[in-house]
Structure 1
Amino acid sequence: MASQLSIPNFPVPPGGDTVQVSIIDSTTRIGKLPLEFLMTPPMLGMEYMPVLPSWSFLIQHASGEKLLFDLGVPGDWRTFAPVVTEKLEARGWDITVDKEVVDVLGDHGVAAHEISGIIWSHWHWDHLGDPSRFPPSTELIVGPGFKEQFLPGYPAKPDSPVRESDFSGRNLREIDFTTAIQVGQFRAVDYFSDGSFYILDTPGHAIGHLAGLARTTKSPDTFIFMGGDLCHHSGEMRPSKYMPIPSGREHYPTAAVATSHAAAACLPCPGAATLYDQLQVSRNRSCTQTFFDPTMGLDIAEAMRTIEKAQHADARDNIWFIYAHDPSLLGVADLFPLPANAWKDRNWRQKTQWTFLQDFAPALEILRGREEKE
């Protein structure tokens, strides 16, 4: 674990209220997605990404107002604009959706008309859902540059990846950061004007990419950082100069690690970090670099700068960083309809932060085999 001296500052305006946050399983699962499509350098034995979920978040304010952050994939992704569906069909990924977010909400007594706003972290297909299933009273909230680039939507704009039906008849609000406040290293908008929930400007991956920071408790302050596609794998965020790989057994939830011989390479033991350091060196990376850099996005250099800013938050034990496709939450964190505000007391951050290392079990096994031959 990073020493106290190495933990960077991530200043959030003091005081403020809290919101109740629930993590919604959109039931989206994306499989057979080549690692090289999203990240570099390659990892031995890891041709594909793990099967990826797509999280949505329900944010409930003391006023009764309810927001959603992202919607996952609609029940039939073939209803997207042709510019999207044609690419998905050509790529041949395994995309399944059992139930849309609006139906998950309804199953637990939250009606569509209760949602005052939907925040799209960005316009990519696996975050859009189907806003047309919400009434016109539900506002759609997007990031800077969205309107100029994508309106009026498909079919009026044939090459637009978003549909006219997504925002037809409803207010489409584009966040303006020109008079923003500062939260950590990010420009931010205090959505409820009480410090309970901030929308963050997190550029690089896509036009208008947004993140969210929700205050989940006070005295002490804790936060959930909703990262969208700021990264697609924890190995794009960790390790960092603030968050080296821990070597102690207490940092790994052993129940989350497979028991096969190959996975045993990832089981906690003294000196385990040394093996990962060797893995990094074999890939021309240092032990304080992330395992991967992004390869898919609008501006990769800007995306990497945004990741570096987010690493300041990720290193703080009162902030739980959750990106949209983080599979480590499955089987660990409580999901909607239960709230996630007690995440720190329940050690969910600690239990999920390094489980991604099990993805590298085949690479470590290959690395060990090479050492044995030498």
Structure 2
Amino acid sequence: MRPPDQKFAVPDGAVARLRIIDTTTKIKGLPLDYLMTPAMPGMDVLPEAPTWSFLVESDTGRKALFDLGVPPNWREFSPVVATPLQTRGWGEPSGEKHVADILAEEGVDLSSINSIIWSHWHYDHIGDPSTFPPSTELIVGSGFKEAFYPGWPARQDSPVRESDFAGRNLREITFSEPNALQIGPFPAYDLFGDGSFYLLDTPGHAIGHLAGLVRTTPDTFVMMGGDLCHHGGELRPSEMMPLPAQIHLPSLSLTPGCACICPGSAFQHIQGTRGRKANEPFFDPAIGYDIPETIRTIKKVQGADAAENIFFIYAHDTSIRGVVDLFPATANEWKAKEWREKAFWRFLEDFCGALPSPLSLKRVPAGQ
């Protein structure tokens, strides 16, 4: 899938148990040009987007949740968030369950959750921390407190609520703490202190944006990207991960049990017609606190994305649906199960409306 010499060095450490949670979030009707540019023919809106939450557990029993999705009571968010969501006429979210309820249904003691980590403060990531006991701390990125604390209604312009913090410790990671270090191009913080779970400073999309890096076996990792990107086409292709000569795209096949082999040149053609280079991502972000910084962060992440021992999953990653095992199952054996290979280029299926016609496609039995 990639040049064999790409590496992303991470210090030695312990292994954490990782589980991917479907938060039941559904975000429909988001216009493509709201999130990214340039336009893609035949793709005016994004596919229905989930928000994944990640439960990380150390060998010592410490547990942390990375993101919470959209809660059922999102209409009770701060008015600066809830009002636009209900009045703009598109992209209204839904969430059927609180993550706390999903955990409790599987017998997880909520008091055992030591930390909730917000990748950032946007409505589709924060859930409702008040559904967890006060002993669960809330972790945010650098600059959060100055920008938003103490929350609405005490601070009328805040997009988060006072109830999110009430009675619990709000910890801001500045990456100057004793457990701070550098991993590749990223300032990092060793949350559990054993090398099993790092928080990464990934600025640009929002104030205090964080990513996570979990060690799933002694030499494999899952990188939780938050909103570093909203679609795989903002990250790929890259100079380190060029489009392959042939790409298996199962959903483009009209024959049950078959996959479609599409030539990479067809997608290079799409790049050329949109003024993009062959080995740069299909899109640039169009939304964010600091878009140039967001693009710089994406370029840094491409090194991790190209490493075969790292499985990059962003918060709204539709490509992992039907590929990964979800909570309560674990995700630690992702490499042995070839989840990365199966999901990596699936985002290209969204571009079928832009493919040149006629296009010669070869259909083969799935799995070949």
> The TM-score by the shorter chain falls in which range?
over 0.9
The separation in 1 between residues aligned to 2:3 and 2:135, in whole angstroms, is 48
Give, in angstroms, the shift of residue 191 of structure 1. Answer: 1.1
Structure 2 residue 134 is matched with structure 1 residue 136: yes
Which range is displaced more, 60-69 or 88-97?
Answer: 88-97
Q: CA deviation at 1:89?
A: 1.4
Task: Determine helix, strand or coil for the equivalent of 2:85.
Answer: helix
Distance 1:131 1:94 in 2: 21
Q: 8 Å contact 1:142–1:174 — kept in the other structure? A: yes
Q: Distance in 2 between matches of 1:11 and 1:182?
A: 10
| Counterpart pick for 1:240 among 234, 238, 241 | 238
Q: Counting helix residues as a fraction of each chain, which structure ranks higher?
A: 1
Asked if residue 56 in structure 1 is aligned to residue 45 in structure 2, the reply is no
Cα offset, 1:114, TM superposition: 1.4
User: 2:340 — aligned with what?
Assistant: 349
- Unmatched runs of 5 consecutive residues or more in structure 2: 360-368
Corresponding residue pairs, total: 354
In 2, Cα distance between equivalents of 1:301 and 1:253: 32
Inter-partner Cα distance in structure 2 for 1:234 and 1:51:
14
| Aligned residue number for residue 95 of structure 1 | 93
Q: Which runs of 4+ in 1 moved over 6 A?
A: none
What are the equivalent positions in structure 2 for 1:112-261 lying under 5 Å apart?
Answer: 112-178=110-176, 180-218=180-218, 221-248=219-246, 252=248, 254=250, 257-260=251-254
Matched, 1:108 2:106: yes
Structure 1 SS opposite 2:139: strand
Task: State the SS of the aligned residue for 1:278.
Answer: helix
User: How does 1:320-331 map onto structure 2 within 5 Å?
Assistant: 320-331=311-322
SS at match of 1:181: strand
Is 1:332 aligned to 2:326, yes or no? no
Aligned partner of residue 267 in structure 1, secondary structure? strand
User: What's the counterpart of residue 368 of structure 1?
Assistant: 357
1:258 Cα deviation from its structure 2 partner: 3.9
Q: Distance in 2 between matches of 1:23 and 1:190?
A: 20
- 2:109 and 2:195 mapped to 1: Cα distance? 26
Q: For the residues of structure 2 that align with 1:332 and 1:126, how far apart are their CA atoms?
A: 23
Secondary structure of residue in 2 paired with 1:73: coil
Task: Return the alpha-carbon distance in structure 2 between the equivalents of residues 325 and 183 of structure 1.
Answer: 24
Identical-pair percentage: 56
For the pair 1:267 / 2:240, whether they are aligned, the reply is no
Deviations 1:313-369 (A, max 9, x none): 0001100000000011111100000000000000000000001111000111xx326
- The equivalent of 1:280 in structure 2 is 271
Cα separation, 2, equivalents of 1:247 and 1:21: 33
Q: Which amino acid aligns with 1:33?
A: L
Q: Deviations over 1:108-165 (max 9, x none)?
A: 1112211111000000000000000111100000000000000110000011000000
Name the aligned partner's letter for residue 248 of structure 1: Q
1:76 pairs, out of 63, 70, 73, with 73
**Would you say 1:3 and 2:3 are equivalent positions?**
yes
Root-mean-square deviation (CA), in Å? 1.6
Q: Distance in 2 between matches of 1:17 and 1:276?
A: 40
Map of 1:28 onto structure 2: 25
Conservation of the 8 A alpha-carbon contact between 1:239 and 1:291: yes
Q: Quote the Cα distance in structure 1 between the aligned partners of 2:346 and 2:127.
A: 28
Q: From 272, 288, 292, give the equivalent of 1:297.
A: 288
Query: Is the CA contact (8 Å cut-off) linking 1:247 and 1:268 kept in structure 2?
Result: no
TM-score (norm 1): 0.92
2-structure distance, mates of 1:288, 1:328? 20
Deviations 1:169-225 (A, max 9, x none): 10000002135311111000111121111000000000000000000001xx00000
Indicate yes or no: 2:367 matched with 1:359: no
Q: Which letter maps to 2:74? A: W
Tell me how far apart the structure 2 counterparts of residues 17 and 178 of structure 1 sit (CA, whole Å).
Answer: 22
CA contact (8 A) 1:239 1:245 kept: yes
> Contact 1:59–1:67 at 8 Å: present in 2 too?
yes
Q: Give the Cα separation in 2 of the matches to 1:156 and 1:58.
A: 31
Change (3 A) 1:213 1:91: same
Alpha-carbon separation, structure 2, partners of 1:126 and 1:95: 8
Q: C-alpha distance in 1, partners of 2:253/2:187?
A: 44
Q: Note if contact 2:66-2:118 (Cα within 8 Å) is conserved in structure 1.
A: yes
Amino acid paired to 1:49: L
Contact 2:85 2:92 in 1 (8 A): no
Residue type at the aligned position of 1:206: A
Aligned ranges 1:29-44 → 2 under 5 Å: 29-44=26-41
Asked if structure 2 preserves the Cα contact closer than 8 Å seen for 1:253 and 1:351, the reply is: no
Q: CA deviation at 1:3?
A: 2.1
**Secondary structure of the equivalent of 1:291?**
coil
